[in-house]
Structure 1
Amino acid sequence: MKFKSDISGKEFLQDEKVSAASLRKPLLEMIKAENSDFDESCSLALSELNIYREKYISDFLSKELGELDEMEKKVVQSLKDNSLVADNPDDEDNTLTVGQRVADKVASFGGSWTFILSFLCFLLGWIGINVFLLMNKGFDPYPFILLNLILSCVAALQAPVIMMSQNRQGEKDREKAQNDYMVNLKSELEIRMLHEKIDHIILHQEQALLEIQRVQIDMMNDILAKMKKK
């Protein structure tokens, strides 16, 4: 069984029918603004209602936040497509450059106990070889000028690499903050839409119960009429 929408004039299944009387006032006013003949006695399809809901959400965000930025447009689009709004920034990103990958690996290794213990063993071995094994006449006798030069070079190179990795981590933190904002915004909007759907269901249930009561009253009247005739 089908019905004809008063918005587009197209036919839809009866299950998609939504009465204008069950709509919230802001949505109803928005539809009336675009369709002057539409009133509470009219009806439309659920797919058409979702289009107006999306537009209502966009208008609401525009009023509350000003012009929609890319994040807010992404939220509205995810509501329309029923898709996830955010990705995990910790997932492997194939767009990273070789330098960014190397910086992450170096910073990860340079901030570990493996690096500290390995470098400590290297220093003790260097000093032991030159002082005890070569009797301070080896390739780098005390005060270990070559070792100081190596340590200075390592520190000079390691510092900017660690800063590059920190910048990468800062970018991830910003992405996570943006994801949190989009998820919270989408949750708030979905709760608003859920309230509308619940109100719509409750109103339909009330209408069904009223119709059942009317049928029962008619049946009781018929029974009373038959009893009076007897």
Structure 2
Amino acid sequence: MSKSVPEIAAKWLRRRPENLTDAENRVLQSTIEHRPIAADINKAIAGTQSTGDRVADTIARVGGSWTFIISFIGFLIVWTIMNAWLLGQDIFDPYPFVFLNLVLSMIAALQAPIIMMSQNRQAERDRLDASHDYEVNLKSEIEIMALHAKVEELRSQEIALLCRQISELTELVQSELVKRGGKN
């Protein structure tokens, strides 16, 4: 394999070093140094999250689960039954359940932006994952092309060696035939 970024860039990417992205430079440098480029992006991201980020992710994870949905439906049924039938004249929130609507509106008003914050962070993680996948795939492609070139080089050397051996054997056979022809 070539020994410098410009050589590898020209040979495998067919580009000049000044036209390479930072990611491509990192990939080529890791190729030269024979070190892996794969990394655990989730681990790196987890170390940079604030408490608010973790809370928002937890709220989004819980709020988007079947457990939450079923529990909330259960809560709504209990609220409705208690206020419509069980409390009789001492109704806390009479039909049409204005207080319940207020509570639900406040929950939705708070939950929606928190879930959007979590989704924005997830989108950023996805972009980082895609970028990292590109780097890993590029390095794999370069390594495969280098291996292919090495196999072709070895094959060419083997063919050249076989041709020399055939030539030597041909000369040996011809000289042997000449010797035998002179004896008859």
Q: TM class, shorter-chain normalised? A: 0.7 to 0.9
Asked if structure 2 preserves the Cα contact closer than 8 Å seen for 1:107 and 1:165, the reply is yes
Deviation at 1:153, TM superposition (A): 1.9
Q: Structure 1 or 2: larger helix share? A: 2
User: Percent of counterpart pairs with the same letter?
Assistant: 41
The answer for the alignment partner of 1:146 in structure 2 is 99
Matched, 1:80 2:23: no
Deviation at 1:221, TM superposition (A): 4.5
The answer for the alignment partner of 2:75 in structure 1 is 122
Asked if structure 1 preserves the Cα contact closer than 8 Å seen for 2:57 and 2:118, the reply is yes
Matched, 1:202 2:158: no
Asked if structure 1 preserves the Cα contact closer than 8 Å seen for 2:9 and 2:17, the reply is no
Moved over 6 A (4+): none
The answer for the alignment partner of 2:2 in structure 1 is 50
The answer for the alignment partner of 1:19 in structure 2 is none
Q: Return 5+ residue gaps in structure 2 as ranges.
A: none
User: What are the equivalent positions in structure 2 for 1:91-130 lying under 5 Å apart?
Assistant: 93-95=45-47, 96-130=49-83
Q: Structure 1 or 2: larger strand share? A: 1
SS in 2 for 1:51: coil
Q: Distance in 2 between matches of 1:92 and 1:108?
A: 20
The answer for the alignment partner of 1:20 in structure 2 is none
SS in 2 for 1:50: coil
In the alignment, residue 7 of structure 2 is paired with which amino acid? Answer: Y
Deviation at 1:119, TM superposition (A): 0.8
Asked if structure 1 preserves the Cα contact closer than 8 Å seen for 2:2 and 2:8, the reply is no
Number of aligned residue pairs: give it: 181
TM-score by length of 1: 0.64
Asked if structure 2 preserves the Cα contact closer than 8 Å seen for 1:136 and 1:142, the reply is no
Q: Return 5+ residue gaps in structure 1 as ranges.
A: 1-48
Q: Distance in 1 between matches of 2:102 and 2:30?
A: 56
Q: Distance in 2 between matches of 1:137 and 1:111?
A: 35
Q: Distance in 1 between matches of 2:56 and 2:44?
A: 15
The root-mean-square deviation of aligned C-alpha atoms, in Å, is: 3.0
User: What are the equivalent positions in structure 2 for 1:1-230 lying under 5 Å apart?
Assistant: 50-51=2-3, 54-59=5-10, 61=13, 63=15, 66-87=18-39, 89=41, 93-95=45-47, 96-224=49-177, 226-227=179-180, 230=183
